[in-house]
């Protein structure tokens, strides 16, 4: 049988919901006749005052909406696993949606999730998202929102991320300390904040170590979930700079593995001729030839932490307790392997 709310009883009897609520709780300011009518109808519908009270207090769907830009991606699979595990532990269910890097779809998905009455939303933005009014809509609907990885700086909500700038800075500094000087960067799209921050960390590491920043050594990999971008950019890099490049820092491991594949197939020795440093410590990096240095960003924990904070905010909201938005910066770790 479908849910029956106070409203149905109220409408049926032509009285207000607060009167129904009070009648079910047997408040003294409601006259006996009304109480009897309400309680009889509630009984008829198989609802006791108690179950009404529970359903009122619990006005939660116990569902969380999750939007990610892309599904077939080691990082996002791990984040989702973290979300699913933490949700499971707290008896929440997950509506999963993939924006497919499509801003219009992402907007539509927000509307769908809100119409489904989710208790909260966790998301990582598509690379195409430049307007954030759909995020503001979630907040305005009084639905807690957590952004992770690809976030909007200007949106006021809790965020879980890593310090991309610092991680990139540390990786490039490691290359410099190992003696590499002409270090290229295969960056991601121009738009996403983490792509910008990784680029800025790369640039700052060069400047802090008195190495001139050469913009011709920076290549943009638009579609950064495909290693063929890394392969093609490596080909361009060698065509453009020949032997006048000795290091490479990439925005992610797929790009790094694509570049490594190009170098291997063209007898360019890694790390003797060119060192490579990836990003995100995808488990394949352990068994590439040579194994690939990378930055571990603990995607599983990012998913768990996002969910944990969201559930806390949902809980506080229902209890009417005020809370402050959090910005969680998860630790990253340099994983040094044979590629540098």
Residues linked to residue 296 through DSSP beta bridges, in sequence order:
333
**Closest distance between a copy of itself and the C-beta of residue 68, in Å?**
10
Closest CA to 26 of 12, 16, 36: 36
- Eight-state DSSP code of residue 15: S
Question: Taking the complex as a whole, how short is the minimal distance between the CB of residue 91 and a copy of itself, in angstroms?
Answer: 8
CA distance 84 to 93: 8
Q: Which is nearer to a copy of itself, 14 or 242 (CB)?
A: 14
CA 147 to CA 156: how far, in whole Å?
Answer: 10
Which is closer to a copy of itself, CB of 96 or CB of 321?
A: 96
Q: Nearest approach, Cβ of 56 to a copy of itself (angstroms)? A: 11
**Least distance to a copy of itself, CB of residue 321, Å:** 24
Give whichever of 300 and 328 is closer to a copy of itself, judged by the CB atom.
300
Smallest distance from the beta carbon of 204 to a copy of itself, in angstroms? 32
Please calculate the CA angle 296-122-319 and round it to the nearest 5 degrees: 120
Return phi, psi of residue 218, to 5°. -105, 125
Q: Which of 112, 330 has the CB closer to a copy of itself?
A: 112
- Determine the Cα–Cα distance for residues 99 and 50; give it in Å rounded to an integer: 41
Instruction: Tell which phi-psi region holds residue 210, choosing left (phi > 0), alpha (psi between -120 and 50) or beta.
Output: left
Sort strands 218-220 and 183-187 into parallel, antiparallel or unpaired: parallel
Least separation in angstroms between residue 251's CB and a copy of itself is 18
DSSP 294: E
Minimum CB distance to a copy of itself smaller for 17 or for 326: 17
Q: Which is nearer to a copy of itself, 11 or 130 (CB)?
A: 11
- CA atoms of 23 and 175, how far apart (whole Å): 73
Under the rule (CB under 8 A), what is the footprint of a copy of itself? 1-5, 7-8, 11-12, 14, 41, 44-46, 63, 71-74, 77-78, 80-81, 84-85, 88, 93-98, 100, 105, 112, 116, 227, 257-258, 261, 264, 283-284, 287, 289
């Amino acid at each position: 049988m479908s849910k029956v709310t106070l409203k149905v009883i109220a409408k049926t009897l032509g009285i207000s919901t607060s009167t129904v609520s009070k009648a079910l709780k047997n408040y003294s300011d409601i006259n006996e006749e009304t109480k009897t009518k309400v309680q009889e109808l509630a009984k008829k519908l198989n609802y006791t005052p108690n179950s009404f009270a529970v359903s009122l207090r619990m006005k939660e769907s116990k569902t969380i909406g999750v939007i990610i830009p892309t599904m077939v991606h080691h990082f996002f699979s791990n984040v989702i696993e973290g979300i699913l595990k933490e949700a499971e532990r707290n008896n929440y269910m997950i509506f999963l949606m993939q924006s497919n890097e499509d801003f219009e779809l992402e907007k539509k998905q927000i509307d769908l999730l809100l119409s489904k009455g989710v208790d909260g939303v966790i998301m990582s933005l598509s690379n195409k998202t430049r307007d954030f009014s759909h995020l503001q809509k979630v907040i305005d609907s009084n639905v807690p929102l957590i952004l992770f990885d690809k976030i909007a700086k200007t949106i006021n909500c809790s965020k879980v991320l890593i310090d991309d700038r610092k991680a990139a800075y540390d990786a490039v500094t490691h290359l410099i300390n190992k003696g590499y000087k002409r270090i290229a960067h295969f960056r991601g799209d121009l738009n996403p904040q983490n792509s910008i921050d990784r680029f800025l960390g790369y640039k700052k590491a060069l400047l802090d170590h008195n190495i001139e920043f050469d913009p011709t050594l920076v290549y943009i990999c638009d579609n950064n979930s495909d290693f063929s971008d890394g392969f093609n950019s490596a080909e361009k890099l060698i065509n453009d700079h020949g032997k006048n490049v000795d290091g490479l820092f990439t925005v992610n491991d797929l790009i790094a593995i694509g570049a490594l594949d190009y170098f291997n197939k063209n007898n360019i020795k890694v790390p003797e001729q060119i060192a490579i440093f990836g990003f995100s410590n995808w488990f394949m990096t352990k068994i590439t030839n040579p194994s690939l240095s990378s930055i571990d960003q603990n995607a599983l924990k990012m998913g768990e932490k996002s969910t944990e904070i969201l559930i806390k905010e949902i809980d506080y909201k229902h209890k009417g307790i005020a809370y402050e938005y959090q910005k969680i910066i998860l630790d990253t770790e340099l994983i040094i392997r044979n590629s540098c």
